Amino acid sequence: MQILIADDDLTSRSMLAAISKNWGYTPIVAEDGEAAWQILQENKAPLLLLIDWEMPKLNGLELCRRIRLELEDAIPFIIILTARSDIDDIVAGLEAGANDYIAKPFASAELQARLQVGKRMLELQAELNKAKNVLTYEREVIENIILKMREATFFDKTQLRTLEIPVENISGDILLSAFKPDGTRHLMLGDFTGHGLTAAIAGPAVNDIFYSMTRRNQPLLSIANEINQQLITKLPTGLFLGAIFIELNPDNNLTIWNCGMSDVLIYRKSYLWKTIKSSLLALGIINQAFISTAKLKVESIDRVYAYSDGITETINHDNEEFGQERLQQAIHKLLLNDKEINYLNQKASQFRGDAKQLDDITLLELSC
């Protein structure tokens, strides 16, 4: 293993290089902090560093700070070597980014032992990085498989506007849309517990049930029951699917099943007309009778909004939620001013500021 020795004293530098070589290391020497920094810019630079505190151009603490600040891809093990031995000095060295601290004069056995600790730490880190790379590759493969399985090849966009903004590559939300052979429209918006890969894993099965049964002219009630049964059987404890099912027939009869989701909002002439609250449990928990939450006669001017809680639970730096009231106001302005659907995401983003998006955002607008 290579070791970088940075010391402005020639005698100390030569001595450290000689004994470290006897211990099986490959020493690379630098006469000051700036020279050490230049070495660290090279490919395959040493990761085990023995750095003197007092050096010209760039002292040991300044070098530590620069390493920790600027070398994001490398995580070296840094040992500070100095005649200073006060507790305050030791603390200052560790706070600057050093992993260990040896006070001069030192016993060679102590230095050898501390270098061995550094070597073991770097070897463990290398093993962890290797395992992480394998897991990252396998995750990407699984994500690509799920994305292909969830491709919206059957998704019908007629009279729909949508927002889909995942936190990670794969969303834990699902959005499905299709027409039965008899012209009845089926919509489903679902929100799995959590987000990302774990939440999305059951999505392809839900897609398949929804689209295959819709093509076979099955009623949405039967589809909801089948999805629930499959999720009860296959999902682990603690993972479930909140869902909104919307059925709109050619005569503009609208039926909604709200299973543990945020309120469905129906607007007429740009104003909130109906609010459909959840009256059913999320899917994948228990067997339940899917009694519809609402049956309405709608008009062509009506707009139906269903959404996952990622948008209403958007949080700003003051820990305030965007909330349903702000969403309702944003929808009202969207309709009054004939804005694009992304206006709703813009309002939520403005509210969030530079705070992090914590959950997947999915929203649909259905023009009846």
pLDDT at 145: 63
Strand partners, 169: none
* Whether the predicted model's global pTM rises above the 0.85 cut: no
pLDDT at 168: 77
pLDDT at 148: 64
* Count of domains observed in the chain: 2
pLDDT in tens, 200-222: 677 788 888 999 999 999 999 99
Whether 266 is covered by a domain: the verdict is yes
Residue 337: pLDDT above 80?
yes
pLDDT at 96: 86
Whether 141 is covered by a domain: the verdict is no
Whether 136 is covered by a domain: the verdict is no
Q: In this structure, are 176 and 275 located in the same domain? A: yes
CA-CA distance, 110 to 79, in Å (whole number)? 12
Q: What percent of the chain has pLDDT over 90?
A: 58
CA-CA distance, 189 to 326, in Å (whole number)? 21
Q: Sign of dihedral through CA atoms 59, 47, 11, 34? A: negative
Chain Cα centroid distance, residue 202:
18
pLDDT in tens, 24-72: 999 999 999 899 999 998 888 999 999 988 888 888 889 899 988 888 7
pLDDT in tens, 144-192: 666 665 565 678 999 999 999 988 777 778 899 999 999 999 999 999 8
Whether 145 is covered by a domain: the verdict is no
Q: In this structure, are 168 and 315 located in the same domain? A: yes
pLDDT at 220: 95
Q: In this structure, are 230 and 278 located in the same domain? A: yes
Q: In this structure, are 95 and 158 located in the same domain? A: no
Q: In this structure, are 184 and 292 located in the same domain? A: yes
Choosing from 131, 158, 173, the residue where a domain stops is 131
pLDDT in tens, 217-257: 999 999 999 999 999 988 777 788 999 999 999 999 999 99
Choosing from 101, 131, 161, the residue where a domain stops is 131
User: What CATH number did the domain enclosing 225 receive?
Assistant: 3.60.40.10
pLDDT at 150: 56
CA-CA distance, 308 to 321, in Å (whole number)? 14
Q: Report the pLDDT averaged over residues 96-115.
A: 88
CA-CA distance, 179 to 214, in Å (whole number)? 7
User: What CATH number did the domain enclosing 51 receive?
Assistant: 3.40.50.2300
CA-to-CA dists, residue 143 to 89, 140, 154, 236, 346, angstroms: 49, 5, 20, 19, 27
Q: In this structure, are 171 and 118 located in the same domain? A: no
State which residues form the domain around 237. Answer: 150-367
Please list, in sequence order, all residues whose beta carbon lies within 8 angstroms of the beta carbon of residue 146, skipping any fewer than 6 positions away: 170, 197, 200, 201, 203, 204
Token pair in block for residue 67: 């390493």
Q: In this structure, are 187 and 114 located in the same domain? A: no
pLDDT band at 198 (very low <50, low <70, confident <90, very high): low
pLDDT band at 195 (very low <50, low <70, confident <90, very high): low
Residue 199: pLDDT above 60?
no
Q: In this structure, are 279 and 345 located in the same domain? A: yes
Q: In this structure, are 276 and 176 located in the same domain? A: yes
